[in-house]
Amino acid sequence: MINSTPKKDGFRMPAEFEVQKQVFLLWPERKDVWHHSAQKAQKVFVEVAHAIGKFEEVTVGVSEEHYEDALNKLGSKVRTIIMPHDDVWTRDVGPTFVINDRGETRGIDWKFNAWGGIDEGAYYPWDKDERVASSIIALEGVKGYHTEDFVLEGGSIHVDGEGTLLTTKECLLNNNRNPHLTQVEIEDYLRSYLSVEKIIWLDRGLFNDETDGHIDNICCFARPGEVILSWTDDVNNDNYHICRSAYEVLKGSIDAKGRTIKVHKLELPQPIFITKEEDDGIIYSKDAKRFSIDEPLPASYVNFLFCNNSIIVPIFNDPKDELALQTLKNIFPEREIVPIYSREIILGGGNIHCISQQQPK
């Protein structure tokens, strides 16, 4: 690990829509998170892996116990390796890759506390998750940075690759992440590690997002100067005011290049709930939080993943699916839009963007 910062060393975090080398996933295995022993979730993870595999390489980390089964299910076109992990959220436990102008790549291994630590986190323990980033850094043979006293998850930030970062106060200023740091000090970390200049702070992420409002479920960059924002015109939807507040912040912001920001609205699906049967299929454990059957899941089309020349988009068998895909097609006429029915992933609390981490080329 390097005792410096990416910015000092000439590295920056590229935007997700820049050219990628590969995407990393982790295999769903927890029976206290994924109903019916994660077997239905595994099927969707296979679909996601194969969808990514059409555009670039994909590597899936699996526990030793599940390795043979995963290898069989994923097939020979997916790079399947043993990598211990506590759950599947590679966006948050994997490294954030940075690049320099000479085409070199390095990885940042952020400190991880399972989205809030012992009291407020999603599960305990998380020691295997904590080691995923360094495992991927070692696997790729790149140099790594480690932030020992700065907690961050990859899903809590988005960058445009040209100096602007999007995040939420609900997450990054939460007392369960870095209570020892002020907002200014947190901004300093982001600037030093990601080489960004302008940080745009939305107040909150989506309602009932157990990550404390990760940006990647409510808003992302489409390209520099343009964002896609989750949206609802239903005043009874818990996200109604959240989306409006975010819109106001975005419309009042200027990015690092001095641009005003174009905001594409992407309508949310209708509220989605875990069924009684699904709920019954989850093994009880005191160590993992779970959704109750009357809580809306934080489902969002914004949680898509950019791959080369494409985006992999979660859909929910919902009346809003078609509108969402059309909206995305209008925003990205140059990209292939690949929808995946991913109810099984949102049942775990996240979606395709949350379970993936791209490595730039």
Determine which residue in the list 42, 105, 135, 164 makes contact with a copy of itself, applying CB under 8 A: 135
Pairing outcome for strands 164-168 and 198-202: parallel
Contact call for residue 4 and a copy of itself (CB under 8 A): no
Decide whether 26 or 324 has the Cβ nearer to a copy of itself: 26
Contact call for residue 134 and a copy of itself (CB under 8 A): yes
Integer CA distances (angstroms), 2 to 22, 40, 92, 108, 187, in order: 24, 41, 21, 10, 21
Residue 95 per-residue DSSP state:
P
Contact call for residue 111 and a copy of itself (CB under 8 A): no
In angstroms, rounded to a whole number, what is the distance separating the alpha carbons of residues 255 and 197? 9
Q: Look up tokens 């005003």; give the residue.
A: 260
CB 184, min distance to a copy of itself, A: 32
How many residues at the interface with a copy of itself, by CB under 8 A? Answer: 25
Question: What part of residues 42-71 is at the interface with a copy of itself (CB under 8 A)?
Answer: 57, 64, 67-68, 71
CB 125, min distance to a copy of itself, A: 15
Residue 69 makes CB contacts below 8 A (sequence gap 6+) with: none
- 3 state SS of 341: strand
Decide whether 136 or 190 has the Cβ nearer to a copy of itself: 136
Examine the residue annotation and report whether 171 is marked as an active-site residue of this protein: no
Catalytic residue among 219, 220, 243, 354: 354
The CA dihedral of 112, 101, 199, 241, to the nearest 10 degrees, is: -80
Which stretch in 35-43, 133-141, 256-264, 291-299 sits in contact with a copy of itself by CB under 8 A? 133-141
Contact call for residue 117 and a copy of itself (CB under 8 A): no
Q: Is the dihedral of CA 208, 210, 213, 214 positive or negative?
A: negative
Structure tokens at 348: 């775990």
Contact call for residue 79 and a copy of itself (CB under 8 A): yes
Contact call for residue 86 and a copy of itself (CB under 8 A): no
Determine which residue in the list 29, 140, 153, 318 makes contact with a copy of itself, applying CB under 8 A: 140
Q: Look up tokens 């940080």; give the residue.
A: 199
Contact call for residue 83 and a copy of itself (CB under 8 A): yes
Contact call for residue 208 and a copy of itself (CB under 8 A): no
Asked whether 82 and 63 are in contact (CB, 8 A), the reply is: yes
Contact call for residue 256 and a copy of itself (CB under 8 A): no
Active site residues: 354
